[in-house]
Structure 1
Amino acid sequence: MEHQHLALVVDDEPQMLDIVTFALETQAFSHVSAKDAVTAWQLFRARHFDLVVLDVMLPQSSGLSLCRRIREVSDVPVLLLTAKSGVQDRIAGLEAGADDYVTKPFHPRELALRAEAIVRRSAPTPESSELVHGPLRISQEKATVHGRYLHLSALELRLLRRLASAHGQPVSFRDLLLSGWQIDEGPGGREMLKTALYRVRKALHGEGLPRAIRAVRGVGYELGGPGG
């Protein structure tokens, strides 16, 4: 029997909850909902979820704060809902650890497809080989340095894996954007990429690889020598 994905939907507007849950049901998601960050956190800690759909504007505590809290303990895909479409707003979401975002108002079909896509991209593929780059080992499920687990989101892991698959050669901005978000270059795309890779660099720096990811001017990024 095929596994039915379970989503945690967090929004304080009843009408928006109805729209989001309806959209998810079209992709065969089951769901649990919460109207505030406190309740959402309690639910998240009590059950295993395959996806979190999270409104940025919540009572008591912001969606970004909850996203950061989730990211401290889990790499579950997080899809943000936001009424703000500016580049800096999207970057703030990525800095909080989100994998993708949908700007309100949106068509339910768009949300459903984005939700299905990020869950699919984050799912491990048994036949995929592990990539080895010096002390760095990267599978579709996790990355380790000298056997120590790197705490990365599903998005960040995809970007690191794409860099490692190039075996030290530069990977273009466009290629990385397609690997991370399945989007071509557009307004703010490179800034989004820079923000996401900053988080990967920070994780690698904490394990003694401060210069593992290098920018290649006018081209993209590359994974440096095995010694970092």
Structure 2
Amino acid sequence: MTTTALVVDDEPQILMIIKFALETAGITVETASDGGRAWDKFTKKYYDLVVLDLMIPVISGISLAQRIRAMSDVPIIMITALSEESDRIKGLESGADDYITKPFSPKELTLRAQSLLRRSKALTSEVVTNGPLRVDMRQHKAFVFGVPVVLSSIERRFLEVLVQNLGEPVTYRELLNSVWETQDESGGKDMIKMTAYRLRGSLGPEGAALVQSVRSVGYMMPEL
């Protein structure tokens, strides 16, 4: 699965250096030149890593890190030309996982990024990403384009069963057993169809692509 980083800096040369360093390490990179553009991107897509400068326009690095941390546990590396301890502390308190000071070694930045990604992968082994959807099976939370999705307990269990069987059909009987913990099929199909309908609505415009019916069998979530 592709690892994607969002890099935010208002200096084009710094953006280019970081982008080249991370891409050389096999990480796909998207960039933004200010906090506003970065926030807009972050709320529409899942990223595995965020690298941002403390001093960026529109939304400051501190405020952007706080916003990101409020909705995601994505690893954040803060970069800045400021070397005061108080500035480093502010960056870490805002939610950053690591801190590096300009001028920096692209190799060191890459190594720090890889270390954070390894740690994050170990902690989020139960997080499944499929297209715009991200499901945290451990915390029972779902996100579409990074935005939290509000689900009923039945919708959540239905979604998790589909995710656990990604790319494979789940039969009506299996859904009844896993979601409702019953094998009584009287009225079961109608109940399943209604739940699938509601789940699609909760997932928004992407719902129809994520929750698909398999005629005479049940439902599935295709790999996107």
For this structure pair, what is the TM-score category when the shorter chain's length is used for normalisation? 0.5 to 0.7
Alignment of 1:1-228 (within 5 A): 3-124=1-122
Task: Please tell me the residue identity of whatever aligns with 1:11.
Answer: D
Amino acid at match of 1:32: E
Distance 2:110 2:137 in 1: 26
> CA 1:62–1:26 in structure 2 vs 1: closer, same or farther (change >3 Å)?
same
Structure having the higher helix fraction is 2
Normalized against structure 2, the TM-score is what?
0.55
Q: How many residues align?
A: 132
Q: Which residue of 2 aligns with 1:176?
A: none
Q: Please list every run of at least 4 consecutive aligned residues from structure 1 whose deviation after the TM superposition is greater than 3 angstroms.
A: 125-128, 141-144
Q: Classify 1:87/1:126 alpha carbon distance in 2 versus 1 (closer, same or farther; 3 Å).
A: closer
CA distance in 1 between counterparts of 2:124 and 2:48 reads 18
What is the letter of the counterpart of residue 23 of structure 1?
A
* Residue 96 of structure 1: how far off its partner (Å): 0.3
Corresponding residue for 1:154?
A: none
Shift of 1:124: 2.6
1:143 CA displacement: 8.3
List per-residue Cα deviations over 1:52-81 (Å, max 9, x = no partner): 000100112211110001111111000001
| 3-state secondary structure, aligned to 2:62 | helix
Deviation at 1:126, TM superposition (A): 8.7
What's the CA shift string for 1:18-55, capped at 9, x where partnerless? 01101101211001100011110110011110000001
What secondary structure sits across from 2:58 in the alignment? Answer: coil
Q: How far apart are residue 112 of structure 1 and its match?
A: 0.6
Distance 1:127 1:23 in 2: 26
Identity, % of aligned pairs? 51
In 2: Cα distance, 1:126 partner to 1:11 partner: 27
Give how far 1:88 is off. Answer: 1.2
Name the SS for the 1:8 alignment partner: strand
In the alignment, structure 1 segments of 5+ residues that lack a partner are: 129-140, 149-228
**TM-score, normalised on structure 1?**
0.54
User: How far has the Cα of 1:142 moved from its partner?
Assistant: 9.3
In 2: Cα distance, 1:28 partner to 1:86 partner = 33
Cα pair 1:9 1:33 within 8 Å, conserved: yes
Per-residue CA deviations over 1:163-192 (Å, capped at 9, x if unaligned) read xxxxxxxxxxxxxxxxxxxxxxxxxxxxxx
Local SS of the residue matching 1:46: coil
Q: Summarize the Cα distance change of 1:114–1:126 in structure 2 as closer, same or farther, 3 Å threshold.
A: closer
